[in-house]
Amino acid sequence: MTVGRYRAGRWLGGALAVWLAACSSAPERPKPQPLEPISAPIAGRQVWSQGIGDVDFPLAVAVNDGVFTVASGNGTVAALQADTGREIWRTSVDGRIVAGVGSDGRFAAVVTREGDLVVLDGGKPLWRKAVGTKVVTAPLVAGERVFVLGVDRRIVAFDVLDGRKLWSLQRPGEPLTLAQGGVLAPFKNTLLVGQGPRLAGLDPLNGSVRWEVPVASPRGTNEVERLADLISPLLRVGDSVCMRAFQSAVGCVNAERGTLQWTKTVGGTEGVSGNDQFVVGADASDRLTAWRTASGEVAWTSEKLLYRGLGAPLVVGPTAAFVDAEGMVHWLSVDKGEPLLRLATDRSGPAAAPVVSGTTLLVVTRNGGLFAFRPN
Per-residue pLDDT tens digits for 107-137: 999 999 999 999 999 999 999 999 988 999 9
Beta pairing partners, 280? 273, 290
What percent of the chain lies above the pLDDT cut of 90?
83
What pLDDT is stored for residue 179 in this prediction? 78
Q: Is residue 259 predicted with pLDDT exceeding 90?
A: yes
Domain ranges across the chain = 32-58+269-376
Give the model confidence (pLDDT) of 160-219 as tens digits.
999 999 999 998 766 677 778 999 999 999 999 999 999 999 999 999 999 999 999 877
Region 40-55: mean pLDDT is 95
CA–CA separation, 87 vs 23, rounded Å?
A: 41
Give the model confidence (pLDDT) of 175-186 as tens digits.
677 778 999 999
What pLDDT is stored for residue 174 in this prediction? 63
Region 221-240: mean pLDDT is 88
What pLDDT is stored for residue 54 in this prediction? 96
- Please state which of the ranges 135-139, 224-228, 282-286, 301-305 shows the lowest mean pLDDT: 224-228
At residue 326, what is the residue type? E
What pLDDT is stored for residue 303 in this prediction? 97
What pLDDT is stored for residue 224 in this prediction? 74
Residue 82 C-beta-side C-alpha neighbours within 13 Å: 21
Let me know: does 342 contact 316? Beta carbons within 8 Å: no
CA dihedral for 307, 309, 311, 314, sign (positive or negative)? negative
What pLDDT is stored for residue 219 in this prediction? 76
Count of all residues that appear for the chain in the document: 376
Let me know: does 291 contact 275? Beta carbons within 8 Å: no
User: Cα-atom radius of gyration of the chain, to the nearest Å?
Assistant: 19
CA–CA separation, 362 vs 372, rounded Å?
A: 5
Confidence category of residue 11, pLDDT binned at 50, 70, 90: very low
Q: Report the chain's mean pLDDT, rounded to a whole number.
A: 91
Give the model confidence (pLDDT) of 246-258 as tens digits.
999 999 999 999 9
pTM > 0.85: yes or no: yes
CB-count burial class (<10 Å; 0-12, 13-18, 19+) for 96 = middle
CB-count burial class (<10 Å; 0-12, 13-18, 19+) for 285 = middle
Fold of 32-58+269-376: Methylamine Dehydrogenase; Chain H (2.130.10)
Q: Which residues of 225-250 are buried (b: 16+ CB within 10 A; e: fewer)?
A: ebbbbbbbbbbbeeebbbbbbbbbbb
Q: Which residue has the higher pLDDT, 30 or 275?
A: 275
CB-count burial class (<10 Å; 0-12, 13-18, 19+) for 81 = middle
